[in-house]
Amino acid sequence: MSPNHFIRSSACVAALLMGTSAMADVTAEEVWANWMAQMEVYGQDGISVGSQTYSGGVLTISGLSMNMVNEEMTVSANFDDITLTENGDGTVTVVMPEVTPMTINPTGEVDTDRIVLTIRTAGAKMNVSGTPDAMQYDTSADRYSITVDEALEGGEPMPLTLQANMNDVSSRQMVTEADGMRTTDVEMTAASFDILLAAQDGSENFDLSGQVTNMALSGGSTMPMDYDPTRPEEMFMMGFATNLDYTAGSSNFIMAVTDYSGTTNIATTSMDSSFALSMDIDNFGMSFGAKDVAVNVMGGQVPFPVDLALTEYGASIDMPLTRTEEPAPFAMSINLTDLAVNDMIWMMLDPGSMLPHDPATAQIDLTGTTKLFFDILDPEQAMAMENAEVPGELHSLTLNKLNLAIAGAMVTGQGSFDFDNSDMMTFGGMPRPEGKLDLEAKGINGLMDTLVAMGYMPEDQVMGFRMMMGMFANVVGDDHLTSTLEVNSEAHVLVNGQRIQ
C-alpha cells in the first residue's frame, strides 16, 4: 500500500469534514441535495444513506456511508448522524460527527491489507449563507486530527503510527453555479500543523516529527458539473481551471531513517515558505520558495555531520499548454542565494584552504515567447507530440538575470534575442537570432590558478580557456572581464563590436 493511496484517501474524507465544495443552500434539504450532487464525483454507487428525517427545521442524516473504489484502492467511511439546522434567517448550521472511522485497502483485499484510521474534529462550527446559486461557507475548528488505529500488510500487523493535527483553523468559501460550471473560491488559515509519523518494515525504520506555523491558503477552481469522473483528462477540455497560493511562517522537521548502515538523522528548518499553482487548458504556472533554510544530516552512511544553509531558494515556471496562432509568453527561474556548507565539506574539497569559502549563489531568470504545435492536455495530440520532431518553435528569449558566484569568482549577465523561424539555413538548422547578450566576470583567472594548483584542472586546458577569453572578452580591471555578443539584422555575429561571422 503506497503512501499516495493513504494521502489521497485521507484527503477525500478530510474535505468532507471541513465542508469543502458546495454543502449548503438556504434550506436544510437544499443543503443535502447539493451535497449529494457534489459527492457524485466519487460515484453514485459508492454512497448510501440509512435514513433522512426532517422535523422543526432540522434535517438529520443517519447511516451515511461512503465506499470509493478505483483501480488502486478502496476507501470506506461510516458517519454518525449529521444535522443541518435552519436558523430562520436564511442560513444553515451544519454539525458533523466529531469522530469518523475510515478504512483504506487495496481493492478486494480488505482482510489482509488495510489501514484503519480515525478523523476527529474539536470545536468545529460551520455556517452557510447565501442563495442556491451563490453559497458562502464560514467554517472554524479548534483542531482537525488524523490517527492510525490499525495497519495490516499480508495479514500481519504493520507497525505504523500517525498523529497529524491542524490547529485553530478558519476558512471561508464561496461556491457559485452557472452555465454548467461550479466555481469555488477558498480562503483558509491555520495557526499550526503538527505531525508525528513512525513506520517499520523489518529492520528498516522511519520516524518523522515536525511543525509548520502560520499557514494561509487562498485559491479557487472552476469545474464542469457533468464531466465523466472516469476520464479526468476531459475536465480541462470542458473548462476546468484552478489556482492556489500557499504561505507559511516557520517550518521545523526532524527525521530518522534506520537501515543496514545505521540511523541517519536529518533536521530541517525554514522561514516564509510559499507555493503557488495555476492551471487551465491554456497555461500552467508553478512557483515555490523559502528563506533562511538550514539542513543538518548526520549518521548512517554519512561519515560526518553535513550542514547546509541557504538565505533563500526558489524556482518558478510559467508555460503555455495550448496551440496558438501567435507566440505565447513563457518564463522560468531558479534562485539559490548564499548556499553555505560546513567546514567538514570544505576540508574534503579544499584540504589546504586555498579557495575562498564564501557562500555560493545561482540565480537565473528567463522569459520569452513560443508557439506550440499541439494542445498538450489533449490526450490524442499529446501522443502525436511525442512522435513529432519539433513540438513547437522559439520566437524570443530574454535573460533578465544571470548571477553565478562560487569560490570567489562571479559571472553576471543579461540580454535578449528574437528568433526568425522562417530562416533555418543561416545558422545551420536553428532559427536566425537577432539581439545582444552582455556578460561580466570577476575572479575567473584567480579561480583557475587555484584549481590548477590544487590539481583539479590541467594547465593545458586552462591555457586554452584563457586564450578563448582573450579573444572574446575585454579586460577592464584586475581579473575583471566583460564581453558583448551581438547578432545584428544582417545575421552578422559580433563580439565586443568585432565581426567574427
> Which H or E element spans position 219?
strand 204-224
pLDDT at residue 309 greater than cutoff 70: yes
Q: How far apart are CA 401 and CA 438, in angstroms?
A: 11
In this structure, what are the phi and psi dihedrals at residue 262, rounded to the nearest 5 degrees? 115, -155
Question: What is the mean pLDDT of the segment spanning 295-312?
Answer: 93
Closest CA to 364 of 386, 321, 387, 331: 331
Give residue 77's region: left, alpha or beta (phi > 0; psi -120 to 50).
beta
pLDDT at residue 9 greater than cutoff 80: no
Question: What is the mean pLDDT of the segment spanning 116-140?
Answer: 90
Question: What is the mean pLDDT of the segment spanning 173-202?
Answer: 91
The 10s digit of each residue's pLDDT in 461-498 is 888 888 888 888 999 999 999 999 999 999 999 999 88
Per-residue pLDDT band for 130 (boundaries 50, 70, 90) equals: confident
Mean pLDDT of the chain: 88
DSSP string, 431-479: PEEEEEEEEEEESHHHHHHHHHHTTSS-HHHHHHHHHHHHHH-EEEETT
- Percentage of the residues of the chain whose pLDDT score is greater than 90: 61
The 10s digit of each residue's pLDDT in 264-296 is 999 999 999 999 999 999 999 999 999 999 999
pLDDT score recorded for residue 365: 98
Give me the residue label for grid cell 518553435: 393
The 10s digit of each residue's pLDDT in 385-439 is 777 677 889 999 999 999 999 999 999 999 999 999 999 999 988 999 999 999 9
Q: How far apart are CA 408 and CA 432, in angstroms?
A: 36
The 10s digit of each residue's pLDDT in 350-383 is 999 999 999 999 999 999 999 998 888 877 777 7
Q: Which residue has the higher pLDDT, 111 or 391?
A: 391
User: What is the DSSP-derived secondary structure letter of residue 13?
Assistant: H
Closest CA to 215 of 182, 238, 193, 230: 193
Q: How far apart are CA 308 and CA 344, in angstroms?
A: 11
Per-residue pLDDT band for 40 (boundaries 50, 70, 90) equals: low
User: What is the DSSP-derived secondary structure letter of residue 42?
Assistant: G
pLDDT score recorded for residue 461: 87
Output b/e per residue, 270-286; b: 16+ Cβ within 10 A: beebebbebbbbebbbe
Cell numbers for 171: 476558512
335 contacts 315 by C-beta, under 8 angstroms: yes
Closest CA to 245 of 220, 222, 275, 273: 275
pLDDT score recorded for residue 229: 65
Closest CA to 483 of 442, 434, 428, 427: 442
Task: Mention every residue, 6+ apart, whose C-beta is less than 8 A from residue 49.
Answer: 61, 62, 63, 64
Please name the amino acid found at residue 374: F
pLDDT score recorded for residue 11: 45
Q: How far apart are CA 99 and CA 412, in angstroms?
A: 58
SS3 of residue 413 by DSSP:
strand
Closest CA to 234 of 244, 243, 245, 226: 226
Q: How far apart are CA 406 and CA 424, in angstroms?
A: 38
pLDDT score recorded for residue 38: 66
The 10s digit of each residue's pLDDT in 50-70 is 899 999 999 999 999 888 877
Question: What is the mean pLDDT of the segment spanning 31-45?
Answer: 69
Please name the amino acid found at residue 109: E
> Which H or E element spans position 131?
strand 125-131
pTM reported for the whole predicted model: 0.86
- For 114, 198, 217, 261, the CA distances from 205, given in Å and listed in that order, are 20, 7, 33, 12
Q: How far apart are CA 86 and CA 218, in angstroms?
A: 28
The 10s digit of each residue's pLDDT in 342-355 is 999 999 889 999 99
